[in-house]
A = this chain, B = another copy of it.
């Protein structure tokens, strides 16, 4: 991942002492909190520093500007999610399609739901960010993982695995985000999650049936 961020978004330096690492953690956490409590347009360097319990100057020691802070935050988060998905995919090599889809939806949903506040904060932060490259890198990483998994399925293969895979991911990612943006009850959410799995499964069945028919 980490498609080497453009210079103006790269961190200035990495922490060398334990103290500095804690400071960085505090800054990231503070960023999320401010994002949630005040929104993107009230996310100021001063406020973040204050909340983190450090001075603004400290923040600028690590990041050349506000954007780079948000960039780093997104990078960190996407990395975690990507890793979870990759791990899940590796764990399901050779399994049945049904197991794979189930696991994939669960893993992604879980990763996003674990700390839904953070997820929401990051969806917001990303808007005003030149992070297409970041998203793209994330997408490709996940793509590779899921393709490898699906290709190893014990119970079916697809004419256009690439297309099927891309579709699957677009649908899963998109649906999760959409659900996040609405204010549904927990049970409604759980229901949709399960329906989403059903939907993906029936799609894959149809897609391989398609193949058989040709």
Residues of A within 8 A of B (CB): 39-41, 124, 127-128, 132, 135-136, 139, 163-164, 166-167, 170-171, 173-179, 181-183, 188, 191-192, 195-196, 198-203, 205-207
Q: Which residues of B contact A177 (CB under 8 A)?
A: 174, 177-178
Contacting pair B182 A135 (CB below 8 A)? yes
The residue in A132, A167, A188, A192 that gathers the most chain B C-beta atoms within 10 A of its C-beta is: A167
Out of B40, B136, B173, B181, which one reaches A128, CB within 8 Å? Answer: B40
* CA A173 to CA B207, docked complex, whole Å: 22
Note all chain B residues with C-beta closer than 8 A to A170: 175, 178-179, 182, 192, 196
The SS class assigned to the A binding surface is helix
Q: Which of A124, A135, A192 is most buried by chain B, counting CB atoms within 10 A of its CB?
A: A192
13 more A-B residue pairs beyond the given contacts A173-B178, A202-B203, with a C-beta to C-beta distance below 8 A: A40-B127, A139-B182, A163-B191, A164-B195, A166-B188, A167-B192, A167-B196, A170-B178, A171-B196, A198-B206, A199-B199, A199-B203, A202-B205
Chain B residues, Cβ within 8 Å of A136: 182-183
Give the docked Cα–Cα distance between A166 and B171 (Å): 14
Q: Which residue of B lies closest to A132 (CB)?
A: B183
Q: With A198-B206, A198-B207, A207-B198 as known contacts, state yes or no: A192 contacts B166, CB within 8 Å.
A: yes
Known contacts A136-B183, A178-B177; A203/B198 CB under 8 A: yes
A50–B41 alpha-carbon span in the complex (Å): 22
In the complex the two chains form, what is the Cα distance from A104 to B181 in whole Å? 21
Kindly state the separation between the CA atoms of A198 and B124 in the bound complex, as whole angstroms: 31
Compute how far the CA of A140 lies from the CA of B169 in the bound complex, rounded to whole angstroms.
Answer: 26
Flag if A135 contacts B181 (CB, 8 Å): yes
Contact A174 B182 (CB under 8 A): no
The distance in angstroms between the C-alpha atoms of A189 and B200, with both chains bound, is: 19
Residue of B nearest to A198 (CB): B206
A108 vs B23: C-alpha distance in the bound complex, in angstroms? 46
Q: CA A87 – CA B195 in complex, angstroms?
A: 27
Task: Across the interface, name the chain B residue whose C-beta is closest to A40.
Answer: B128
